[in-house]
Amino acid sequence: MKNYKLFTATKVGSLEIKNHIVMAPMTRCRAIGNIPNDMMATYYQQRASAGLIIAEGTSPSPNGLGYARIPGIFSEAQIAGWKKTTAAVHQRGGKIMVQLMHTGRISHILNMQQGSEIIAPSALKASGQMWTDAKHMQDYPTPKAMTAEDIVSTRAAYVTAANNAIEAGFDGVELHGANGYLLEEFLSPNSNIRTDKYCGSIENRCRFVIEVAIAVAAAIGKDKTGIRLSPYGVAGDMPIYDEIDATYDYLSKELNKLDIAYIHLVDHSAMGAPMVPIEIKKRIRSNFKNTLISCGGYDKESAEADLNNGLFDLIGFGRPFINNPDLVGRLEFDHELSQSLNTDLFYSADEKGYTDYPK
């Protein structure tokens, strides 16, 4: 029988993990009142055979809670709520980090707490619509361009959130620098037209992301800090731009200097997005010496092939974990995968399509 690297133990940062499989972060909108609950602890515990779980996009501040029913990690109640999840996963021998997601301009005020504001690098609205519980689909709004004070306070919010994550029992944090949310909005000249030191050159557009990474790594440890990036991703109305290769070339070199635990690359071509050129993946691989995770459209054989060709160190699985809570065992022992993925229940509010997929 073939020996699969996928199912062997390894390390990411200082964390020992039992296999090379990462459960990708997936927003599931079950955090009623933006507070993690028992249902979420059950969901993650069911999936604890992953080497590393990256818990869903979680806001570092009220302004980053742009979607309905997503969790935060800035209040005492949220920290207490997350403790149930981390304890449940650790009890089964799993490891779990949390994705810090500030939704930036991909937000709607109807989803947010009173007194919040929608902020982004520049007052440029994304085209398209998003769900709100109160009025269903709504256009994306025009965000407020962040002031110098907003930049300082938002960076500080990431640091507090990262400290809160450690207090809540997480094994580390992943900065969400992908998919068109706040951090990626700074990277792209299509969403960032500032006139200060955060725009005007590649170095300047990368500045906020790097500052946040430096500050979070200093607070909780570089070995507990990772980042997700989506070069050539188009989610959140992020068109491709001329300097895209040079931007991610520079950024990955700078992140390498910070010696953070990992970069997590997203390739959503399996979800209908444009292909991500292999050249940019190779470029990031050669620039970044620590763990490189790849996610998007994998099955057992393609995951194993990408681990063995030297390009990636860990493989992320997203959707297969939704309807296969015991995905790792099913892959390892060649049991059939569930065919019952109900996409209508991705973002609904209760157990259906969430904790009721059978082992």
- Give the chain's end-to-end CA distance (angstroms, integer): 25
Q: Does 104 bind ligand FMN (CB under 6 A)?
A: no
State which amino acid sits at residue 125: K
Minimum CB distance to ligand FMN, residue 242 (Å): 25
CB atoms within 10 A of CB 344: 8
Residues 135-194 close enough to bind ligand FMN by CB under 6 A: 176, 178-179
Q: Does 83 bind ligand FMN (CB under 6 A)?
A: no
Which range of residues in 40-48, 152-160, 290-298, 303-311 is near ligand FMN by CB under 6 A? 290-298
Q: Which residue is nearest to ligand FMN (CB)?
A: 318
Q: Which of 317, 326, 331, 345 binds ligand FMN (CB under 6 A)?
A: 317
* DSSP E strands, 18-122: 21-23, 52-58, 96-100, 119-120
Residue (16 or 356) nearer to ligand FMN, CB: 356
Minimum CB distance to ligand FMN, residue 344 (Å): 11
Q: Which of 318, 324, 325, 326 binds ligand FMN (CB under 6 A)?
A: 318
Residue (238 or 266) nearer to ligand FMN, CB: 266
Minimum CB distance to ligand FMN, residue 147 (Å): 27
Minimum CB distance to ligand FMN, residue 135 (Å): 22
Classify 296 in phi/psi space as left (phi over 0), alpha (psi -120 to 50) or beta. left
Catalytic residue among 44, 67, 181, 354: 181
Minimum CB distance to ligand FMN, residue 80 (Å): 22
Which range of residues in 13-21, 115-123, 140-148, 263-271 is near ligand FMN by CB under 6 A? 263-271
Residues 6+ apart with CB under 8 A from 238: 180, 184, 188, 190, 191
For residue 294, give the nearest of 308, 283, 281 by alpha carbon. Answer: 281
Strand 173-177 to 15-17 pairing? unpaired
User: Could you give the string, one character per residue 294-313, with x where binding to ligand FMN holds by CB under 6 A and - elsewhere?
Assistant: -xxxx---------------
For residue 39, give the nearest of 352, 326, 359, 358 by alpha carbon. Answer: 352
Q: Does 270 bind ligand FMN (CB under 6 A)?
A: yes
Minimum CB distance to ligand FMN, residue 58 (Å): 8
Residues 329-358 close enough to bind ligand FMN by CB under 6 A: 346
Site of tokens 């992953």: 50
Residues 49-68 close enough to bind ligand FMN by CB under 6 A: 56-57
Structure tokens belonging to residue 174: 């992943």
Residues 6+ apart with CB under 8 A from 251: 187, 206, 209, 210, 229
Residue (89 or 101) nearer to ligand FMN, CB: 101
Distance between CA atoms of 300 and 330, rounded to whole angstroms?
10
Cβ(10)–Cβ(52) below 8 Å: no
Residue burial 269-278, b: 16+ Cβ < 10 Å; e: rest: eeeebeebee
Structure tokens belonging to residue 344: 């209508």
Cβ(280)–Cβ(292) below 8 Å: no
Minimum CB distance to ligand FMN, residue 148 (Å): 28
Distance between CA atoms of 216 and 227, rounded to whole angstroms?
11
CB atoms within 10 A of CB 234: 15
Active site residue 181: yes
Q: Does 21 bind ligand FMN (CB under 6 A)?
A: no
Residue (169 or 226) nearer to ligand FMN, CB: 226
Write out the residues near ligand FMN by the rule CB under 6 A: 24-27, 56-57, 99, 101, 176, 178-179, 228, 266, 268, 270-271, 295-298, 317-320, 346
Q: Which residues are catalytic?
A: 181
